């Protein structure tokens, strides 16, 4: 997801030398690898490109301790396997010894995936919008079949409230701005929570933006990075793909929904959740940055993160977003 690796690492990652990585993966796969052990960009986990002796590319993902329980990782893997069984273009983990898809390297859980190529697309054409919509519709058909008992529920009173509490306790908000930030966040949560009551919630990707869709000429888009899989409303997997706010991207939204409804009904009334979900994303991102500082001692994501300027801008953004939500801006046309 991120363009550069972090400045410093979680302490548990310090022992991940190329020798330990290769030994762990070879033992888990029951086959030898070449000497290739190339770090890939990742803030949260540690990810490495490897290759087996037959030249097949592999991606080994070492999960950051404390972020996901073994049950949560298994639910991600189960979802990926179910999607792959339906020939939906995702990358499912490889089976490992002695059983399952989760390996262990000391305190660190890991998984191994076949390497798949592709590139990001900045702007979709009409057929690509339809294709992405079909992909999401198919994914959500599978996502609706089962639950994931250990995954978070995307809800302002649950996930967002927990993120605000984490930010408050992190010590990263200047003292004079802690109360204004908390008030802005809590007002927003109180305002949008009723909008989430009684909604259909299913297993979704949860972090579905263009960086997690790989384009392969002559083939379908490939959907990657299910780390943030949650139980939530399907619209969460659509809105971050749009090139702007709904009133400015109604054509793209229509195409996305048209493709989606080839396989699954989409409740257009849930488009009203886009701006609330955007506000929740603001808080999510600040909490994500805070985790990097607390766990790593530094963050290279936002150069001024934690500064007075940063938090004042966040307070203004939350207040502006609340005002937009309360005004109830509607898109052009007949999206709902």
3-state secondary structure string across the chain: CCCCCCCCCCHHHHHCCHHHHHHHHHHHHCCCECCCCEEECCCCCEEEEEEECCCCEEEEEECCCCCCCHHHHHHHHHHHHHHHHCCCCECCCCCCCCCCCCEEECCEEEEEEECCCCECCCCCCHHHHHHHHHHHHHHHHHHCCCCCCCCCECCHHHHHHHHHHHHHHHCCCCHHHHHHHHHHHHHHHHHHHHHHCCCCCEEECCCCCHHHEEECCCCCCEECCCCCCEEECCCHHHHCCCCCCHHHCHHHHHHHHHHHCCCCCCCHHHHHHHHHHHHHHHHHHHHHHHHHHHHHCCCCCCCCCCCHHHHHHHHHHHHHHHHHHHHCCCCCCCCC
Question: Does residue 225 carry a catalytic annotation?
Answer: yes
In degrees and rounded to multiples of 5, residue 160 shows phi and psi of: -70, -40
What whole-number distance in Å separates Cα of residue 323 and Cα of residue 317? 10
Q: Which candidate in 52, 85, 207, 317 is catalytic?
A: 207
327: Cβ contacts below 8 Å, ≥ 6 apart: none
Name the one residue in this structure whose structure tokens are 């706010």: 245
Burial of 205 (0-12, 13-18, 19+ CB in 10 A): buried
Catalytic residue among 52, 225, 237, 296: 225
Could you give phi then psi for residue 106, rounded to 5 degrees? 65, -130
- Tell me the C-alpha to C-alpha distance, in Å, between residue 303 and each of 291, 306, 309: 15, 9, 11
Question: Looking at the annotation, which residues are catalytic?
Answer: 207, 225
């Amino acid at each position: 997801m991120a363009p550069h690796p972090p400045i410093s690492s979680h302490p548990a990652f310090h022992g991940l030398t190329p020798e330990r990585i290769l030994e762990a993966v070879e033992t888990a796969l029951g086959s030898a690898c070449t000497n290739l052990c190339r770090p890939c960009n990742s803030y949260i986990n540690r990810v490495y490109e490897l290759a087996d002796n037959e030249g097949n590319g592999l991606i080994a993902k070492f999960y950051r301790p404390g972020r996901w329980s073994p049950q949560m990782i298994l639910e991600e893997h189960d979802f990926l396997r179910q999607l792959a069984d339906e020939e939906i273009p995702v990358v499912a983990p490889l089976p490992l010894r002695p059983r399952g898809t989760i390996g262990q390297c000391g305190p660190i859980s890991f998984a191994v995936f076949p390497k798949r190529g592709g590139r990001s697309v900045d702007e979709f054409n009409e057929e690509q919008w339809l294709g992405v919509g079909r992909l999401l519709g198919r994914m959500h058909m599978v996502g609706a079949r089962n639950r994931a008992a250990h995954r978070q529920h995307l809800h302002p009173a649950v996930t967002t409230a927990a993120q605000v509490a984490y930010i408050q306790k992190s010590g990263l908000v200047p003292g004079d701005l802690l109360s204004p930030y908390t008030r802005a966040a809590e007002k927003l949560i109180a305002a949008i929570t009723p909008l989430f009551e009684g909604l259909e919630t299913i297993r979704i990707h949860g972090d579905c933006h263009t960086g997690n869709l790989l384009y392969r000429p002559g083939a379908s888009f490939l959907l990657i990075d299910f780390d943030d899989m949650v139980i939530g409303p399907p619209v969460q997997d659509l809105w971050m793909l749009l090139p702007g706010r709904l009133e400015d991207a109604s054509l793209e939204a229509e195409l996305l929904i048209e493709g989606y409804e080839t396989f699954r009904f989409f409740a257009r009334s849930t488009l009203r959740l886009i701006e609330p979900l955007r506000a929740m994303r603001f808080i999510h991102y600040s909490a994500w940055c805070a985790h990097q500082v607390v766990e790593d001692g530094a963050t290279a994501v936002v150069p001024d993160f934690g500064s007075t300027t940063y938090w004042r801008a966040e307070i203004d953004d939350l207040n502006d977003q609340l005002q937009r939500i309360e005004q109830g801006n509607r898109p052009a046309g007949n999206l709902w």
